[in-house]
């Protein structure tokens, strides 16, 4: 795999740089949105899964077992649901970068 970028004849390097800058900015914004949405869903999913585990197995095991299980599943659920929500809510920013023309 080559690390060189092929630029068509007549394409200005400044156009490529502006496009690359816009793409990096959109990706940074997407990463911030993913982290924010994961952190927002974390307490909600932990509470939901702790409640589910408490209802299902609290009378059969010790408290630390169902609490640990609920917290573990809540963290996994927060990563899944938070990243899905963050990517879905901010996908339009990547589309805007694809549609934009720089220096044309």
- pLDDT tens digit sequence for 12-34: 667 778 888 888 898 899 999 99
- Helix 63-99, helix 13-57: angle, nearest 10: 160
- Residue pair 77/53 in contact (Cβ under 8 Å)? The answer is no
Consecutive H or E run containing 43: helix 13-57
The tokens of 47 are what? 């509470």
- Rounded to an integer, what is the distance from CA 71 to the centroid of its chain? 20
- Read off the pTM: 0.74
* Residues 90, 38: Cα–Cα separation, whole Å: 14
pLDDT digits (tens, 9 = 90+) for 53-67: 999 998 999 999 999
């Amino acid at each position: 795999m080559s690390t060189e970028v092929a630029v068509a004849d007549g394409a200005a390097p400044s156009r490529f740089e502006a496009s690359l800058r816009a793409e990096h900015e959109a990706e940074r914004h997407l990463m911030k949105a993913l982290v924010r949405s994961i952190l927002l869903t974390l307490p909600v999913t932990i509470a939901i899964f702790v409640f589910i585990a408490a209802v299902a197995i609290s009378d059969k095991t010790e408290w630390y077992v169902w609490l640990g299980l609920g917290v573990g599943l809540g963290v996994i659920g927060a990563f899944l649901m938070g990243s899905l929500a963050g990517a879905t809510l901010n996908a339009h920013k990547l589309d805007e970068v694809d549609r934009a023309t720089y220096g044309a």
